[in-house]
Amino acid sequence: FCLPVCTLVLTGAMRDIGPELYEAMTMDGASPARVFRQLVLPLSRGGLSSIVVFAALQAWNGFLFPLILTQSDSNKVLTLGLYEFQTEHGVDVPGLLSAVVLSVLPVLAVYLFARRALVQGLMGVGGK
């Protein structure tokens, strides 16, 4: 579901790399694999971290796709478990809120790990 947006973000990050950098590396004798590893990956780190955070949020917060594909109760994902978090007499609000806070922690950890590169990815390559 997030592939179109990830493609647009990564394409924008890759287009910001100037063609003169590719030419300089190929004139120095770098192979395409070396150009990718030493030029493209470091300069597109912001775009890559942006799509990693976005894809992680999409995967973690997915509701419709797991709802359609999950058939058994033993294979439910967290969002479906939160949806079905009810007792016989209604919704257990303190329990539901504590489960929601616990479900936010992994996403918060991904964001904290990639926040510097995420901001650079939103600003453009090299912090322009």
What topology does CATH give the domain 3-127?
MetI-like fold (1.10.3720)
pLDDT at 128 over 50: no
Whole-prediction pTM: 0.69
DSSP state of 90: B
Check residue 93 and give its pLDDT: 82
Closest CA to 53 of 101, 128, 127, 113: 113
Q: Over 50: is that where the pLDDT of 70 sits?
A: yes
Per-residue pLDDT for 104 more than 80?
A: yes
For the chain, the maximum distance between any two Cα atoms, rounded to a whole number of angstroms, is 73
Closest among 122, 2, 10 to 60, alpha carbons compared: 2
Domain boundaries, the chain: 3-127
pLDDT over threshold 80, residue 117: no
